[in-house]
Amino acid sequence: MTFEQERAQIRRHLEAAIRLQRESWDEALAIQQLTTNYDRDFYALVAELAGAFTDNEAITADVINSLFAPHPVIYPESALVQ
């Protein structure tokens, strides 16, 4: 393989990697918007989960539930100490 052929292959792989990374960012942003959890770094979370899960491994409900921002507990007025 010539140097120019190697460069062309590297360019193709690099372009594909960049495109996939951008798509990953878009998907992470969509998760963040759906969960309204803006205190979390979803880009880092996706990278972490990508390394932790296998391709066929199911994402558990616990993982999904952990993505939502904590909601404040609202007590009825009758429960407030006066």
Question: What is the arithmetic mean of pLDDT over 2-28?
Answer: 94
CA 45 to chain centre: 5
Using an 8 Å Cβ cutoff, are 40 and 67 in contact? yes
Q: Is 19 helix (H, G, I), strand (E, B) or coil?
A: helix
- Say what the pTM is: 0.66
Question: What are the residue ranges spanned by the domains of the chain?
Answer: 3-79
Instruction: For tokens 């491994």, name the residue.
Output: 57
Question: What pLDDT, in 10s, does the model give residues 19-64?
Answer: 999 999 899 999 989 988 888 888 888 888 888 888 888 888 998 8
pLDDT band (50, 70, 90) for residue 81: low
Question: What is the arithmetic mean of pLDDT over 1-23?
Answer: 95
